[in-house]
Amino acid sequence: MWYWLFKYVFLGPLLYVIGRPKTQGLEHLPSNGSAILASNHLAVMDSFFLPLMVRRRITFLAKQEYFTGTGVKGRFLAWFYTVVGQVPIDRTDADSAQAALDTAKRILDQGKLLGMYPEGTRSPDGRLYKGKTGLARLALETGVPVIPVAMVGTNVVNPPGARFLRSGKVEVRFGKPMDFSRFDGMAGNRFIERAVIDEVMYALMELSGQEYVDVYAASLKETAAPELPSPTSSRLPESAAG
């Protein structure tokens, strides 16, 4: 109930005023059944504008830190993220990664839409970064379609580090469902999984118009280098083109 109240009563109307969101390719979303929505990640508000534009409920996997805060504020945020459809996952080690994968499978087994950010974290500069293979393994093990989703303009409405939302124009672009059944039985093969996620990232690059950088966004943030690396190419490896 709270999910729909936030979407249509409390938060949704405000986001429509601030972001004036519109969609492209909404017909590519299935009216029922499970699918993975693979989105680029520009801002925290991606997880709010995307569900706003889709009639069906979307469940996201969110880092556990969102749910472990203390005090009144921490408890409120944990409740809020839960009611708006986010599920906590621990990303600290290999066992935690497998637990997250199992959680994602359960969501898809229930015929739901699962939202994932293959970059693993928000883009530090608006460019598109190398995808992690967890999404690829999930797609191969479940056989569900992957729908690329490009968020455009959310980093203007919700700039990194800003305390308040700003007026802007948000567009949510949905690409054609991607079928990886040709790789049936190959889950766990790191070369196949890399080829799959590269194909997804290539679709996101074309859909969003972002420049591609062939490094992980998380590693870039950890090093905090004074200068960002130049993109190696505007295209992904040949394996991504299928």
In a domain, 238, yes or no: no
> What burial class does residue 175 get, using C-beta atoms within 10 Å of its C-beta: 0-12 exposed, 13-18 middle, 19+ buried?
buried
Residue type, 164: F
The answer to whether residues 104 and 138 touch, using CB atoms and an 8 Å cutoff, is: yes
In a domain, 225, yes or no: no
Task: Give the pLDDT of residue 94.
Answer: 64
In a domain, 235, yes or no: no
Task: Give the pLDDT of residue 124.
Answer: 93
Q: Which has the closest alpha carbon to 213: 201, 224, 195?
A: 201
In a domain, 79, yes or no: yes
Task: Give the pLDDT of residue 172.
Answer: 98
pLDDT tens string 4-50: 888 889 899 999 999 999 999 999 999 999 999 999 999 999 999 99
In a domain, 95, yes or no: yes
Is 0.95 surpassed by the pTM of this model? no
Task: Give the pLDDT of residue 160.
Answer: 86
In a domain, 241, yes or no: no
Helices (H), the chain: 2-5, 12-19, 46-52, 71-83, 94-109, 134-142, 154-157, 190-208, 217-223
- How far is Cα 157 from Cα 106, in angstroms, rounded to an integer? 33
Round the average pLDDT of the chain to a whole number and report it.
88
pLDDT tens string 89-110: 776 666 667 888 888 999 999 9
Predicted confidence (pLDDT) at residue 237 exceeds the cutoff of 50 = no
Task: Give the pLDDT of residue 7.
Answer: 87
In a domain, 232, yes or no: no
User: Average pLDDT in the 176-180 region?
Assistant: 97
pLDDT band at 233 (very low <50, low <70, confident <90, very high): very low
In a domain, 236, yes or no: no
Predicted confidence (pLDDT) at residue 238 exceeds the cutoff of 60 = no
Q: How many domains does the chain have?
A: 1
Range of the domain at 76: 6-218
CATH label of the domain that carries residue 39: 3.40.1130.10
Q: What are the tokens at 236?
A: 């992904």
Pairing of strands 171-174, 146-152: antiparallel
The DSSP line for 95-164 is HHHHHHHHHHHHHHHTT-EEEE-TTSS--SSS-EEPPPTHHHHHHHHH---EEEEEEESHHHHS-TT-SS
Side-chain-facing half-sphere of 214: CA atoms under 13 Å: 11
Predicted confidence (pLDDT) at residue 195 exceeds the cutoff of 50 = yes
